[in-house]
Amino acid sequence: MTAKTSTFDLNRYTFKLLQSEPFFASLSRRIQKRASTAIPTAGVRLNKDTAQFEMLYNPQFFEDMADKERLGVLKHEFYHIIFEHVTGRLPPEGMSKMWNVATDLAINSHLMGELPEGGCFPTIKPFEEYPVGMSAEWYFSKLQNDDQFKPQEGDGEGGEGQPSDGQGDGSGNGGLPDTTDDHSGWGEASEEVRDMAKERLKQAVEKAAQDAASGQGWGSVSADMRKKIMDMIKPKVNWRTILRYFIQTTQRADRQSTVKRYNKKYRKQKYAGKKVKRTAKIAIAIDQSGSVSDAMLTAFFAELNGLAKLAEFTVVPFDTQVDDSKVYVWKKGQRVEVERVLTGGTDFDAPTRYSNDRSFDGLIILTDMEAPKPIPSKAQRMWMTTPECKERAYFQTNERVIAID
């Protein structure tokens, strides 16, 4: 018996589905939708030739759903595009499925009760201990440290015969469930194509947001999600520029001076004179409680390489205390390893006291901001964290807090 072929046309249905969703309706016009039986459900990807976003969908998948669920799937796919899951960085080798699950957890936090059964939802088994409303990066970090999802010995991503995009039975990923939609092809386009697509996306989201704000309304987009979208399209503060400015403004006149070279032009000058060498002594306090990722440290110290002539940097690992034996003066090009060598927990008083006692000119603390407000710092103090942690800082401060993205 021949299987029934669905005639469902998502393009015809989109207008009906998005009548009450002006933000998504505006965005939808920029996304080509194409039926395909090559995928079991739906998925978005970037056309590597045109730099245009495409949504592929299996007609049978949509035909079997109620309108509420069809709309939920549309919004789910659009959010993948909006938050650059399609055009962003690729996960580390062997971690594709975990990253796919993390992106779905982040999006589905805002679509609870709107999607078909199955899939990945925070607060719902096996993610019942995962809070809603966090970023994909946060969920990815959480999954990596969750014992129930750590790969078993002999496992490989996707298991034998499973594709590397993370669709499959979960073998090789510590029992991670499948994502409902298809994530294959993410990040495969060239950097030039991705950059072009990101610029087009920003323009499309800006237009959709302007239409929504001008009176057409945001539809079902939550206040929290609106803020995330507006934060994404507004001009971003360059943390590298701010880091350089911070270091330059903490420079001081060092007491150690050097003799100027004698200039024959001034023969009557009895002494060659002295020039003052301006340096800064800056403490780089690194939270060792597990909150500072390798990627964050790599980005930070890569930037510090270009600033090595401006200051002397002392690395100060800490958790609830500072271990003097772990403190060292950092040299340009030196690799910084994250060692979970201390006791766990976080107390910002520890690095602040260390800095105060040794008269540093500046104190930079790399952390997740999840600890009580510390004692005052004698030196100029700046905090560096992730965008997510900046939004959910444990305490309020008038000091500069910079997100490393």
**Is the per-residue pLDDT at 106 higher than 90?**
yes
Alpha-carbon span 364 to 322, nearest angstrom:
15
pLDDT digits (tens, 9 = 90+) for 114-132: 999 888 999 999 999 999 9
Q: Which residue has the higher pLDDT, 258 or 75?
A: 75
Alpha-carbon span 74 to 55, nearest angstrom:
9
Closest C-alpha among 93, 96, 75 to residue 31: 75
Alpha-carbon span 323 to 393, nearest angstrom:
25
Closest C-alpha among 24, 19, 56, 53 to residue 40: 56
**Mean of pLDDT values over 206-221:** 86
Write down the pLDDT at residue 231: 78
Write down the pLDDT at residue 337: 62
Alpha-carbon span 143 to 135, nearest angstrom:
12
Q: Which residue has the higher pLDDT, 228 or 277?
A: 228
User: Strands 380-385, 400-403: parallel, antiparallel or unpaired by DSSP?
Assistant: parallel
Write down the pLDDT at residue 169: 38
Q: Retrieve residue 196's tokens.
A: 């072009």
Write down the pLDDT at residue 165: 42
**Mean of pLDDT values over 48-61:** 92
Write the CB contacts of 56 (distance below 8 Å, at least 6 apart in sequence): 34, 35, 36, 38, 39, 42, 43, 44, 45, 182
**Mean of pLDDT values over 230-247:** 82
Torsion of CA 62, 121, 182, 17, to 10 degrees: 30
**Is the per-residue pLDDT at 153 higher than 80?**
no
Write the CB contacts of 181 (distance below 8 Å, at least 6 apart in sequence): 41, 42, 43, 73, 76, 77, 80, 104
Query: Domains (ranges, CATH) in the chain?
Result: 10-233 (no CATH), 239-403 (3.40.50)
Alpha carbon 76 to chain centroid distance? 19
**Is the per-residue pLDDT at 234 higher than 70?**
yes
Mean pLDDT of the chain: 82
Write down the pLDDT at residue 161: 34
**Mean of pLDDT values over 40-68:** 91
**Is the per-residue pLDDT at 262 higher than 60?**
no
Signed CA dihedral, 115, 118, 120, 124: sign only: positive
